[in-house]
Amino acid sequence: MLKSLRMNRRHLLWAAAGWLAAAALPVQAQGQANNWPTKTIRIVVAFPPGGLTDAYARLYAEQLTAKFGVPAIVDNKPGAGAIIGIDTVAKAPADGYTLLMTTSGTVYQNRVLYSKLPYNLDKDLTPVAVFPSGPLVVGVPEKLGINTMAEFMQYAKKNPTSMGSYAPGGYPHMVADQINRKEGTQIQTISYRGESPMWLDLASAQSQIAIGSYQAFATVQSRGVKAIGVTGSYRSPKLPDVPTLVEQGLDPRLVGLEGGLPLMAPAGTPEAVLKALSQVAVEGANTPRAIQLRETFAIPNKPKNLEGTRADWARDVPIWIKLAVDLGIKLD
């Protein structure tokens, strides 16, 4: 037990300081950094095409090309709870030509959700920007006759219930586990390779609840799926009459947090390159395409610059890790 506590403490400390260690690494090729970029930039997306992660990556790729005049491509590498995609970037050269786009949970919490990973999330990757995901929608099949989370939890106490999740150990998985522990329910988490199949199964009532982006929810809203709540600290601009889970009395330590979609680079990538990559994300947030994307997905916030991203990373990641440790979820 004592050894386990020490390990968890180390994870929290590493998460807060990991990007500092990466920034302190020597610039491997300053001359190369000064000439960057001169060739194709690849953005590895740890999820299938479709959904918010992929949409942000493709928009960002277009912005990179417009800014620097070099091709930028999206390479979808889904599978194994995002481990395949993350591993590809973690082992890539730290030269600014291979980037990662994934969900926050896969790089925040996987370091404690898995006993062994082929990379070290504290040391092998460094954040460039975090694209906000906005409030996530909690949906249920209309045929269940459920209108609130309280009603859903009562239903789950009496009926076999499953929750769709877009990745093992993802945000929905943690919410289901938290409800099970607090309410004595036995909600089973079903992990899908992305949001689209998750919402389709919910629309056909093969699962009883799901949590995901507004845009993906909207594709099945007319097929008998109802929103009964949203995550985060504020209501969705697209669903102003749907209360947050915090408003409905759920523990705000988890459901009050807002995740995001981190853009990351291999640790040791030159600081000048990281700043240039971050600046594209910040400037690109004000373009008509980016504004339209956020409107479509009901996202009011924009990515921050490199300094702001690092500050948020140091503050937020230990919180997410502690929640995973406290819940005791293990995926292997």
Q: What percent of the chain has pLDDT over 90?
A: 67
Is it the case that residue 17 has pLDDT exceeding 70?
Answer: no
pTM: 0.81
- In this structure, of 50-54, 236-240, 274-278, 286-290, the range with the lowest mean pLDDT score is 50-54
Please tell me the CATH code under which domain 2-133+260-327 is placed.
3.40.190.150
Q: Tokens in use for 38?
A: 């001169």
Between 68 and 111, residue with greater pLDDT: 68
**What does the pLDDT look like over 129-151, one tens digit per residue?**
999 999 999 999 999 999 999 99
Between 39 and 174, residue with greater pLDDT: 39
Segments making up each domain of the chain, as ranges = 2-133+260-327, 137-255
**What does the pLDDT look like over 262-297, one tens digit per residue?**
999 999 999 999 999 999 999 999 999 999 999 988
What span, in angstroms and rounded, lies between the C-alpha atoms of 225 and 202? 7
Q: Return the exposure string of 79-100: e unless at least 16 CB atoms fall within 10 Å of the residue's CB, then b.
A: ebbbbebbbbbbebebbbbbbb
Same fold, 2-133+260-327 and 137-255: yes
Is it the case that residue 30 has pLDDT exceeding 80?
Answer: no
**What does the pLDDT look like over 67-85, one tens digit per residue?**
999 999 999 999 888 999 9
Domain 137-255 top-level CATH class = alpha beta
Is it the case that residue 306 has pLDDT exceeding 80?
Answer: yes
**pLDDT confidence of 1, banded at 50, 70, 90?**
very low
Tokens 């082929």 -> residue: 118
Average pLDDT over residues 210-231: 94
Output the pLDDT for position 29.
44
Output the pLDDT for position 2.
36
Residue 128 near residue 274 (C-beta atoms within 8 A): yes
Within 13 Å and on the Cβ side, how many CA atoms surround 41? 29
